[in-house]
Structure 1
Amino acid sequence: MGIKNTSDSIEEYIKAILAQSGIAELKRSELADVFQVVPSQINYVIKTRFTESRGYIVESKRGGGGYIRIGKVTFSNKHQMLCDLLDNLGERISQQVFADLIQLLFDENLMTEREGNLFLATTSDQVLGQDAPYLRANILRKLLQQLDRKG
């Protein structure tokens, strides 16, 4: 097992709060003090690990009484989730957002780890080339439609 870095520890801490209460309301400076990091590292973790494509909603208020509120998006059923993903899918999708969405499908038990890894391997920029963002969006659209039919 690898050694965890500080960002991993911060992510784990926030996810533990989410698991307990469903919403994590944090003060950037207090969290920075707990982990003995600068507040910008807290921002980095939140911006990279608690994104919409990973199934999170983040609210932020700056200033003296500022806070960060993080919630996990929940759906009433798989059909609703797939429809919401389809409705919000643009014409192009980055490799990172695609990977986040494949992880979400795995987390929701709509895809096996093996299936997810196969999709990731075959939809990289290296494989798809110059039109990768457009092709990935089309691939994901068809995948979501197929998963919704199976539901």
Structure 2
Amino acid sequence: MIRISDTIEQFIKEMISDTKKNMVEIQRNELANHFCCAPSQINYVLTTRFTTEKGYYIESKRGGGGCIKIYKVEYVENKPLVDIILDKIGGNITYDGGVKIIDALMEAEIITCRESNILKSVINDRTLASITNNRNKVRAEILKSSFIAIML
């Protein structure tokens, strides 16, 4: 059974893919009315499904029905995607943070399912079990090196 959150997410993604700008502007209340749900449900979908880790940027304006702009980020200020990803990883990253980035790249068809599975296996806590200090730092370095190799 499909949950309302999944339906709303798919609807917004289809709206974005139908535009040439990789951006869509929505009214929170109108979308809530369309799906017969509370505006807080729309907020939930936006905050959990359209994060920077997943390749989205959201601008929200208060008042006037809650206008929201959702951008599908590929390049920011002529900055290559690989640089954006490396910045997002930073000096250390948790397994969950790494998985979110990996899943977003696979969804955007930047990496394959096979590459996704390999990356997840090399950054999981079982693989890094012998590293007791700075595990998240090592995980970040592994991810950054891997993304550079895949994307360049």
Query: TM-score, normalized by length of structure 2?
Result: 0.80
Write the letter of the residue equivalent to 1:102: I
Size of the aligned set, in residue pairs, is: 145
Q: For structure 1, which segment, 55-64 or 125-134, has the greater mean C-alpha deviation from structure 2 after superposition?
A: 125-134
Counterpart for residue 59 of structure 2: 59
- Contact 1:26/1:68, CA 8 A, preserved across alignment: yes
Q: Quick one: distance in 1 between partners of 2:109 and 2:24?
A: 24
Alpha-carbon distance in structure 2 between the residues aligned to 1:65 and 1:8: 23
Alignment partner, residue 117 of structure 1: 117
- In structure 2, the partner of 1:7 is 5
Contact 1:110 1:147 in 2 (8 A): no
Deviation, 1:71, is 1.0
| Deviation string, structure 1 residues 39-81 (Cα, Å, up to 9, x no partner) | 11111111111111111110011223431110111239xx921
**2:145 alignment partner AA:** K
Identity of aligned residues (%): 37
1:146 matched to which residue of 2? 149
Equivalent residue runs for 1:52-91 within 5 Å: 52-75=52-75, 80-91=80-91
- Compared CA separation, residues 43 and 120, structure 1 to 2 (3 A): same
2:99 maps to what in 1?
A: 99
Greater shift after overlay, 101-110 or 85-94?
101-110
Unaligned runs of 5+ in 2: none
Distance 1:62 1:114 in 2: 42
**1:19 aligned residue (13, 17, 20):** 17
Query: TM-score by structure 1 length?
Result: 0.81
Using the alignment, how far apart are the partners of 1:115 and 1:147 within structure 2? 9
Query: Hey, what's the Cα distance between the residues in 1 that align with 2:146 and 2:114?
Result: 15
Letter of the 1:133 counterpart: N
1:35 maps onto 2:35 in alignment: yes
